[in-house]
């Protein structure tokens, strides 16, 4: 059994039309992967920046410990970003994922996000009412199949710092 | 070897504005200048938080309280600020950290938690920021920036009331900022950041079978 430790921080987000954001995040791993300790999913705080509108601070800690029997299904981090407006309504502001890096060490990751555009009617609707179309199935964020049906709009970036520590991969002849 | 140990030496350097963090990460190329008056007098409380109870402090102090520091009257200038494009009035603490841990598991790797307190318009002690940073796993010198946040009042009326009475919203447990649980219910305001300089030395982490950087154990 090889072990993987992902220790890091969801730093924040930038480049979104509005900065009052929060994110739901989750690790997605294959069947051979087993979570030993730590939280595999969560939701960040809502930051309404006081000083700099360009950057949303989440500073959300991540700490998970996996064991695995196989390299396939290497964990990914999946995100859904929401904007909370002045009335407390949550509006979808983006989907995105990033692979957990395989190389041990500290990695600074940027997750570019997108949201579904929907039909012209949906866009008119979202312009006036702020309700953007959402995905029915969250698997679409990190699965390669069925993407071709989607029309999307680019949103901002999520900033993640992840430190990777591994144990026991070398014993099985795996170089990371 | 049944455990590895990590030595953390470093200092809480200065308090700066959030703009410098935004400039380093968002690449918008805009130079911001932000110097709210509340940077002028500040005090920081530093705690080391570790979720893993198998991590034991071998030597050193796990928490400390800095001096009450007043910002310089002139705009301070440093190399880091030059590269990040931010100039602001900084508050210098230059507060030392020296602590050594031993553990058998990297899970629950220590974080540094800081709570910044300052004086408001009426000279009352109020919280100016909570922040947390994960201490690096790799040996070497690291310059880290901790963005800080304060919880927001739930309603505008509460916000006014807390300002008037000088009792601004606070976290009951400062370690909350270093935990993942329960965050979805909080609404915060990000303001200011801290610069810290940390040197990490690890002992027997390789012998323990752990690979924490790409360069170690590569032939």
Reported as a single tens digit per residue, the pLDDT across A113-125 is 999 988 888 888 8
Q: What is the mean pLDDT of residues A160-174?
A: 92
Angle at A61 between CA B218 and CA B99, to 5 degrees: 70
- B4-21+37-208: CATH architecture: Sandwich (2.60)
Q: Which of A12-26, A120-134, B34-48 has the lowest mean pLDDT?
A: B34-48
- For chain A, say whether B94 makes contact (Cβ under 8 Å): no
| pLDDT number for residue B77 | 54
At A61, the pLDDT band (50, 70, 90 cuts) reads very high
Q: Quote the DSSP letter at residue B121.
A: T
Query: Which contiguous run of DSSP H or E holds residue B16?
Result: strand B4-16
Reported ipTM: the value is 0.84
pLDDT for residue A51:
77
User: d(Cα A26, Cα A39) in Å, to the nearest integer?
Assistant: 9
| Inter-chain CB proximity A52 and B190 less than 8 Å | yes
Q: Is the dihedral of CA B83, B86, B89, B95 positive or negative?
A: negative
Subunit contact B217:A103, Cβ cutoff 8 A: no
List of chain A residues whose C-beta atoms are within 8 Å of the C-beta of residue B178: 61
CATH number for region A2-112+157-172: 2.60.40.150
Greatest CA separation found in chain A? 59
Could you read off the pLDDT of A82-107 as tens digits, one per residue?
Answer: 999 888 888 999 999 999 999 999 99
Verify whether the Cβ–Cβ distance A51 to B19 is below 8 Å. Answer: yes
d(C-alpha B173, C-alpha A110), whole Å: 31
Interface of A with B in 109-138 (CB under 8 A): none
Which pLDDT band, with edges at 50, 70 and 90, does B214 fall under? confident
Residue B33: pLDDT over 50 = no
Q: Do B188 and A48 touch (CB under 8 A)?
A: yes
CA distance B65 to chain A (A): 22
Enumerate the residues of chain A whose CB falls inside 8 A of the CB of residue B32. 52
Answer for the pair B76, B39: CB distance below 8 angstroms, yes or no. no
Cross-chain Cβ contact B26/A39 below 8 Å: no
Q: How many CA atoms lie within 13 A of B15 on its CB side?
A: 33
Residue A1: pLDDT band (50, 70, 90) is: confident
Q: Do B149 and A43 touch (CB under 8 A)?
A: no
Helix (H, G, I), strand (E, B) or coil at B21: helix
The answer on pLDDT for B83 being more than 70 is no
**Residue ranges covered by each domain of chain B:** 4-21+37-208
What is residue A100's predicted lDDT score, i.e. its pLDDT? 95
Best CA proximity match to B217, nearest among A165, A1, A66: A165
Which of A140, A139, A121, A141 is CA-nearest to residue A131?
A: A121
For residue A111, the cross-strand partners are A158
Whether the predicted pLDDT of B39 surpasses 50: no
Q: Which residue of B has its CA nearest to A15?
A: B26
Tens digit of each residue's pLDDT (9 = 90 or more) over A34-55 = 999 999 999 999 999 987 788 9
pLDDT of residue A9: 95
> Residue B154: helix, strand or coil by DSSP?
coil
Per the CB < 8 Å rule, is B137 touching A42?
Answer: no
* CB environment A114-151: b (16+ within 10 A), e (fewer): bbbebeeeeeeebeeeeebbeeeeeebbbeeeeeeeee
Secondary structure of B47-113 as H, E, C letters: EEECCCCCCEEEEECCEEECCCEECCCCCECCHHHHHHCCCECCEEEEEEEEEEEEECCCCCCCEEE
B36 has a pLDDT exceeding 70: no
| Residue-wise pLDDT tens digits, B158-205 | 999 998 888 889 999 888 999 999 998 899 999 888 888 899 999 888
- Confidence (pTM): 0.85
Chain segment B92-148, per-residue pLDDT in tens: 888 888 888 888 888 989 899 988 888 877 878 888 889 999 999 999 999 888 889
B88 interface with A at CB cutoff 8 Å: no
- The Cα of A149 is separated from the nearest Cα of chain B by a number of Å equal to 31
């Amino acid at each position: 059994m090889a072990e993987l430790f992902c220790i890091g921080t969801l730093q924040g987000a930038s480049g979104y039309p509005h900065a009052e954001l929060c994110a739901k995040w989750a690790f997605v791993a294959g069947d051979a992967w087993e979570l030993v300790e730590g939280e595999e999913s969560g939701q960040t705080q809502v930051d309404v920046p006081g000083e700099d509108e360009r950057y949303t601070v989440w500073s959300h800690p991540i700490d998970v410990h996996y064991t695995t029997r196989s390299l396939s299904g290497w964990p990914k981090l999946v995100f859904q970003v929401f904007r909370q407006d002045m009335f407390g309504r949550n509006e979808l502001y983006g989907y995105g994922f990033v692979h957990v890096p395989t190389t041990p060490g500290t990695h600074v990751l940027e997750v570019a996000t997108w949201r579904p555009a929907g039909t012209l009617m949906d866009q008119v609707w979202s312009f006036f009412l702020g309700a953007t179309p959402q995905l029915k199935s969250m698997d679409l964020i990190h699965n390669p199949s069925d993407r071709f049906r989607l029309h999307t709009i680019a949103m901002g970036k999520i900033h993640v710092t992840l430190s990777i520590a591994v144990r026991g991969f070398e014993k099985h002849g795996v170089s990371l | 070897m049944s455990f590895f140990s990590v030595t953390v030496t470093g200092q809480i350097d200065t308090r700066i504005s959030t703009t410098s963090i935004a400039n380093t990460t968002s690449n918008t190329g805009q130079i911001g200048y932000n110097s709210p008056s509340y940077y002028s007098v500040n005090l920081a409380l530093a705690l080391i938080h570790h979720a893993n109870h198998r991590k034991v402090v071998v030597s050193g102090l796990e928490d400390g309280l800095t001096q009450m520091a007043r910002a310089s009257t002139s705009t301070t200038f440093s190399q880091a600020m030059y590269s990040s494009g931010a100039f602001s009035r900084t508050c210098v603490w230059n507060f030392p950290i020296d602590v050594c841990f031993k553990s058998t598991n990297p899970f629950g790797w220590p974080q540094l938690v800081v709570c910044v307190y300052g004086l408001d318009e009426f000279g009352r002690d109020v919280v100016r920021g909570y922040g947390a940073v994960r201490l690096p796993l790799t040996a070497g010198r690291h310059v880290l920036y901790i963005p800080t946040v304060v919880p927001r009042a739930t309603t505008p009326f509460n916000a006014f009331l807390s300002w008037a009475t000088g009792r601004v919203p606070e976290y009951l447990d400062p370690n909350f900022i270093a935990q993942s649980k329960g965050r979805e219910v909080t609404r915060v305001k990000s303001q200011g950041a801290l610069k810290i300089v940390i040197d990490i030395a690890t002992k027997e982490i390789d012998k323990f079978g752990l690979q924490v950087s790409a360069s170690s154990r590569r032939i």
